[in-house]
Amino acid sequence: MDLIIKNGTVVTATDTVKADVAIRDGKIVAMGADLPLDGAKVVDAAGKLVLPGAIDVHTHLAMPFGGTTSADGYLAGTRAAACGGVTTVFDYPMQRKGMTIKQVIDSKKAICEKEACIDYAYHCIITDLNDGAILDEMESAVASGITSFKCFFVYKKEGMMVDDGVFARLLLKAKEVGAMLNLHAENPDLIDYNVEKFLAEGKTSAWYHYLSRPEYVEAEADKRAVHWAKHLEAPLYLVHMADKEGLEAAIEAKKENSNIYIETCPQYLEFTSEVYKRDDGRNFVCSPPIKGQESQDALWKAIKNGGIDVVATDHCPFQSHEKDWGINDFTKIPNGCAGIENLYPYMLSAANQGKLSYNQVVALCASNPAKIFGCADKGSIAVGKDADIVIYDPSVDFTISVDNMHSDYDHTIWEGIQVKGYPVQTYSRGRLVYDHGDFVGEPGWGNFVKREKRPTK
Ligand code: URP
Ligand code: ZN
Ligand code: ZN
Ligand code: ZN
Domain limits, the chain:
3-51+380-439, 53-372
Strands (E), 358-407: 389-399
Nearest CA to ligand 1 atom 2: 336
pLDDT, averaged per 10 consecutive residues of the chain (457 residues), comes to 96 98 98 92 98 99 97 98 99 98 98 98 98 98 98 97 98 98 98 98 98 98 97 97 98 94 98 98 98 98 98 98 98 98 99 98 98 98 98 98 98 98 98 98 98 91
Name the residue among 70, 96, 64 with its Cα closest to residue 323: 70
Q: What is the pLDDT of residue 38?
A: 84
CA distance 292 to 136: 42
Q: Look up the ipTM and state it.
A: 0.94
> What end-to-end distance do the CA atoms of the chain give, in Å?
42
Backbone angles phi, psi at 127, to 5 degrees: -115, -15
Looking at 116-263, list the stretches that DSSP marks H as alpha helix, in order from N- to C-terminal side. Answer: 133-143, 164-177, 188-200, 206-212, 215-232, 244-254
**How far is Cα of residue 1 from the mean position of the Cα atoms in its chain?**
33
User: Separation of 182 CA from ligand 2 center, angstroms?
Assistant: 10
Q: What is the pLDDT of residue 448?
A: 98
CATH of segment(s) 3-51+380-439 = 2.30.40.10
Identity of the amino acid at 451: R
DSSP state of 380: S
CA distance 421 to 48: 10
User: Separation of 231 CA from ligand 3 center, angstroms?
Assistant: 7
User: Separation of 253 CA from ligand 3 center, angstroms?
Assistant: 9
Q: What is the pLDDT of residue 1?
A: 87
User: Separation of 177 CA from ligand 3 center, angstroms?
Assistant: 24
**Nearest ligand by distance to the CA of 289:** 1
Full DSSP string of 28-64: EEEEETT---TT-EEEE-TTSEEEEPEEEEEE-TT-E
Q: For ligand 1, which residues put their CB under 6 angstroms from it?
A: 60, 184, 286-287, 314, 316, 335-336
Architecture of domain 53-372 in this structure: Alpha-Beta Barrel (3.20)
Q: Which of 59, 209, 286 to mutate to test the pocket of ligand 1 (most atoms within 8 A of CB)?
A: 286
Q: What is the pLDDT of residue 211?
A: 98
